[in-house]
Structure 1
Amino acid sequence: MQVACFVFIQRRWEMDKAHLENMLDYFCDIREPLQLLLFPEGTDLTEDTKAKSDAFAAQNNLPKMEYVLHPRSTGFTFIVDKLRKGDNLDAVHDITVAYPKNIPQTERHLILGEFPREIHFHVRRYPVSSLPSSSAELESWCRERWAEKESRLRDFYSGQPRGFDRDGVARVPPCKSELRVGLIKAASLAYWSGFIAFCFAGLWFWPSFRFYVLFMIVLFTVQQKLAGGLELIEMACHRYWKVKVQERKMQ
């Protein structure tokens, strides 16, 4: 995740703001195609998180929700503003996910084989030109999307016609056959089972493999303690070479 430049946060805005700003400036500066996945609600829906969401709604004079958690829009508005100013935002995709059967809540459910039989996605694209300009309006826009999610999921789970469309007409793209999906699952299970078995065999039989694993553990531990992560080292190197290039241009 560090190598892929994931954005790590502490869930405390006064600590996360500066780090997030540096990461977004870096993304805008290198001009690489960016896909940033954000969960404004912050966590999954459980009895405990719903109680906290209801308390948040009561404190802010907002309606209680049953199928979604209230979004914490500070990070969302900040990200949109930074990427838009850096000319690195094409669109916001609003994605709603529903599970008509088996809703796994923890890894325990997956270990027990309680996988969702179906997963339904509702995706709507909002071009950057259609987004509000101010942070306050953008926050209201985000809350409006969550109100739509609540209504959409209520219809979905209350026995309305299958699909997310409010007019009752489901537009389902061509799906993979059950045989193909089964083969993909079997291949994935075989690969990861073999990979894990190979790692244990390597640690047991090959001294060079044990040395490599030990070396990587020490390397990542040291750089984490000294620099805070590979993504921070990458940003520091970028800033260093950027300054060097600017100095050469000024000479």
Structure 2
Amino acid sequence: MAEKLAGWDAVCFLMFFSSFFGTIYILTPMLPLMLIRPKWYRAVVDQFIAWWETFPVALLELVYGVRVRLTGDVIRPGERTLIIMNHRSRLDWMFLWACLLRRGHLSKEKIILKTSLKNIPGPGWAMQVGCFLFIKRRWDEDEKIFKRMLNYLTSIRHATQLLLFPEGTDLTEYTRKRSNDYAKEYNLPKYNYVLHPRTTGFVYIVEKLRKAKQLDSIHDITVGYPAGVLQNEMDLFAGRFPKEVHFHIRRHPLRTLPNTTGQLELWCTTRWAEKELQLKEFYQRKRFKDLNLVDGRKSANHLRKEQVKAILWLSILFWGNFVVMMLYLMVTNFFILKMTIIIAVFYIIEGLIFGGVEDMEIKLHNAVWGKLPWK
């Protein structure tokens, strides 16, 4: 029962109260900046969202004792990159925040997610304001979404670090079977630790960003859970947290990538074949082969342990007190209650009219600032 209560506390704070009130009373007042200067708006809002993203990391590491270990290459300051990662659980992206926090790049990350998540009150609204990419897993529609979002981020020269899960879904017994059925049909090897990647979106993003001169590298990240895995939201509710999360990072400069569509597809599938072997060894050894932990001595951009811990404790203090204060004001102050309802209704209505804050942002940008410089 104690574990379930602990998990319930995490869900309440992470996925509802902090994101709900943060979106309404911190992010929403920033929306008028869209009309003044889109690049300023993105910079300010991205910093606020990054500050919230430290809160889940703080709870996982300081409250639930999850240890994060990093090996491999570093993500360089200001680097425009596509991050590709295996999708072991539905919540890999949340654990990746712990990795990116230590690199100082949380504010640049944009995640590619399924569109059903964008209308969840609180976290969904925050992700809309964050200009995340919501896809429908139908390429005829997703291509238009990718084109619109990448055109916009490129036009404002946003140093985006775009997170893509080429597998398209998390690894379960069911998805592993589907992947291996696909492998059998096309005479491909069967995998136990990864799913066969879908390369269409990957190739499109690389070619689009390379053409716009807005891509410096690809960071291939492999995630492993040597002792327990937080598979989905129900595990979060139940308080079943992994003891450790390991990330192994390999940086591939743009100049090393192939130039043709077919070669890019092969490049991606080759990385996944390597991941299968890498993860097989990982689960035998309970660590990645490269034992050189990334730390402050190897990268000036990497935060020291003391700095990380200070940021995490400040995050808990800030967001914990913020949520308590807002709940108190909701109960005692009718004006705050009324404003909360009005702003919540606004997000519902704008979703129906514009399709989301991120689409409203792009439409306003195009209307006010004219045509995009490239297509």
* 1:95 alignment partner in structure 2: 221
Cα deviation for residue 78 of structure 1 reads 0.5
Q: Once the two structures are superposed, what CA deviation does each residue of 1:190-236 show, in whole Å capped at 9, x if it has no partner?
A: 55444433332222111111111111112111111111111112111
Select the residue among 130, 136, 149 that pairs with 2:256: 130
Which segment drifts farther, 79-88 or 21-30? 21-30
Residues 122, 164 of structure 1: 8 Å contact kept: no
Select the residue among 139, 143, 149 that pairs with 1:23: 149
| Matched letter for residue 51 of structure 1 | K
Residues 133, 149 of structure 2: 8 Å contact kept: yes
| Matched letter for residue 267 of structure 2 | W
Cα deviation for residue 73 of structure 1 reads 0.9
Q: Once the two structures are superposed, what CA deviation does each residue of 1:21-40 show, in whole Å capped at 9, x if it has no partner?
A: 11111122111211111111
User: CA 1:245–1:97 in structure 2 vs 1: closer, same or farther (change >3 Å)?
Assistant: closer
Residues 91, 126 of structure 1: 8 Å contact kept: yes
Residues 163, 171 of structure 1: 8 Å contact kept: no
Task: Work out the CA distance in 2 between the residues paired with 1:80 and 1:74.
Answer: 10
Cα deviation for residue 187 of structure 1 reads 5.9
Query: Structure 2 matches for 1:177-196, cutoff 5 A?
Result: 191-196=318-323
Name the count of aligned residue pairs: 240
Task: Work out the CA distance in 1 between the residues paired with 2:279 and 2:220.
Answer: 14
Query: Structure 2 matches for 1:230-245, cutoff 5 A?
Result: 230-243=357-370
Residues 180, 190 of structure 2: 8 Å contact kept: yes
User: CA 1:181–1:114 in structure 2 vs 1: closer, same or farther (change >3 Å)?
Assistant: farther
Which segment drifts farther, 64-73 or 151-160? 151-160
Select the residue among 289, 294, 300 that pairs with 1:164: 289
5+ residue gaps in structure 2? 1-126, 297-303
Query: Structure 2 matches for 1:1-251, cutoff 5 A?
Result: 1-159=127-285, 162-165=287-290, 170-174=291-295, 191-243=318-370
Percent of aligned pairs sharing the same letter: 43
Please state whether the residue corresponding to 2:163 is helix, strand or coil: coil
Task: Work out the CA distance in 2 between the residues paired with 1:56 and 1:144.
Answer: 17
Q: Once the two structures are superposed, what CA deviation does each residue of 1:34-65 show, in whole Å capped at 9, x if it has no partner?
A: 11111111121111111121122122221110
Please say which structure displays the higher CA radius of gyration.
1
Residues 196, 272 of structure 2: 8 Å contact kept: yes
Cα deviation for residue 108 of structure 1 reads 2.9
Task: Work out the CA distance in 2 between the residues paired with 1:137 and 1:66.
Answer: 25
5+ residue gaps in structure 1? 247-251
TM-score by length of 1: 0.86
Please state whether the residue corresponding to 1:95 is helix, strand or coil: strand
Q: Once the two structures are superposed, what CA deviation does each residue of 1:115-143 show, in whole Å capped at 9, x if it has no partner?
A: 22221111011111111101111010000
* 1:249 alignment partner in structure 2: none
Q: Which has the larger share of strand?
A: 2
Computed over aligned residues only, the root mean square deviation of the Cα atoms, in angstroms, reads 2.5
TM-score by length of 2: 0.59
Could you say which structure has the greater relative contact order, defined with CA pairs below 8 angstroms and 6 or more residues apart?
Answer: 2
